[in-house]
Chains A and B, each alone.
Chain A
Amino acid sequence: MAKHDTPLLDQLESGPWPSFVSDLKRQAETKPECWDILGQLELSYKDKITHWKHGGIVGVFGYGGGIVGRYSDVPTQFPGVEHFHTVRVNQPASKYYSTENLRAICDLWEKYGSGMTNMHGSTGDLVLLGTRTENLEPFFWDLTHELKQDLGGSGSNLRTPSCCLGQSRCEWACYDTQEVCYHLTMHYQDEIHRPAFPYKFKFKFSGCPNDCVAAIARSDFALIGGWKDDIRIDQAAVKEYVAGNYPSNGGAHSGRDWGAFDIKKEVLDLCPTGCMWMEGDELKIDNAECNRCMHCINVMPRALRPGKEKGATVCVGAKAPILDGAQFATMIIPFVKVDKESEFQEVIDVIENIWDWWMEVGKNRERVGETMQRVGLPTFLSVMGVEPVAQHVTEPRSNPYVFWKEEEVEGGFERNVAEFRKKHAM
């Protein structure tokens, strides 16, 4: 029976969609602290203010991340949620689980926590909601020793890296995202578990520009698969698409009659750089102008494939905060090799170059994208040792401020003003 009256929350059960209120009530039958979550949330709805205090010194020994302290500011009213800490668990690469593993995690959380989970947090971790301080160490022991899993990142740490399905399922993956994700997770254990930076730092790995983990929108360091050479074309298959013998988009839109496939309307005219055209019944691509948007490949997967010389593009500086607005990452390095033989050294070099600079120049609670914006892209490129290319900018500059370095100017900045005025009177 309900411990608190929750008329406002009860309304959330009246819609046609699944309700977290119903879930919490069901969970409260075995975990009575869930009644207090409902009670406190009802109070927050009435008071129009949160009753969670966050932050603190909670954690497990040796770790400076992975646990987020949560306390009720009305513990006498709701003693079940006096402590209600969140635990972040590092998810397996590409979120491949066995049901056995998921059951084991749920059993562990029923034992030590509220049983409530959040699958998954926006960074990718398994988020386990609600436990008391004294349960943290025993939970951590069982998690690491029995399930062989580890905590994820929180605070000013490297956050839990995440990746798309990559080559395990996807023919378009230009590098092995799972391998890179796993390797860098192990390589940067210290940065994941102990604070290192002015603020959070996120890695995300996408195998191709379809970017299934939204790396370009949500990570400080996005490694997005790409290719250096030409898109591979099977002209016979192009003809089959044009003739309507192959379904476009792999048949993904076959539930409705969209009419006959029109290569001009559906592919050529939608190419963002206009680099495709037909010559008779042959498809032509000016690959130097292609910006790897993947649209044509998505529409005609049997006719077009990524090139053979594969690697990745490094984009830096995305963030998706509540305040201040979201920011996409900026393309910094058009192509890096993602080479397992060298243990991804080329990628690691780029990461550590960014970190060394940001740790020194970044302000407290400033994401690397904000630091880049503050100092300007030319400065950031010069720190990274990258020569600017036209693709670094979206349009020609529209302000008159051109910053030259002295060594770039013939004769330097020294000049004889008197001599100059002889020719150019004021």
Chain B
Amino acid sequence: MTMTRRPFLRSLCGLVAGVAVAGVIGSTDAHADVLANVQKTGTLRVAVPQDFPPFGSVGTDLKPRGYDIDMANLIGKELGVKVELIPVTSTNRIPYLTTGKADLVISSLGKNPDREKVIDFSDAYAPFFNGVFGPEDVALSKVEELDGKTVGVTRGSVEDLELTKIASPKVTIKRFEDNNATISAYLTGQVQFVATGNVVAAAVNDMTKLRRLGAKFLIKNSPCYVGYAKGEAALGAKLNAIIAKAKQDGSLDAIAQRWLNAPLPKDL
């Protein structure tokens, strides 16, 4: 017993020490000017989703495509630099940014106060029309009527944040890894309702005959923001200027029409 206990303690101490060292060194990391660096290297590295249509998905060539990818290319064009897309998941997208492996995260990010302590957000670049969907023969028109029901949602997505905010504790929210799991859970009857994007629901209805997604009610339009590292004021100002211009000259509207089948809302 004593023989085996010692390595236990020793390894535990090792782990704790490792974490502590990482903390100390990490916090003294040098400050870098991302915008200047991007212009110097001529490359903008953007973390984009690859499993979250219509914002980021893959084509038959497995290359990323979607609203977020078009947005990345738009920013790259305005900056006059090449865009390097880094496909990410909801788990690793922020670490890519905070470790400087990506310059921007364009991954249909919603914001909240906790998130804003870790990274900075640009002005809104995309609307997110999402709602709660369910069987067509079940009447449901507002969030209060969800009490006692089970709703599936993709963990960490904008609709997850919004639904968590508005739903009462009597609603059972099941948070799945990605849209595929969320939608599959609905189609196979594992959850009664799902919260997801309107475009996703429409596409799923086109593709499958298993169980239809009937629109129940809309969750308030919650916009998405471009994420960038803390303390990069120059980059933030430039991003906001680009987004404002794209809203004015209709190029953002074109992206919205293409991927969301809807015009860009005036109040975005």
Bound pair: A and B? no
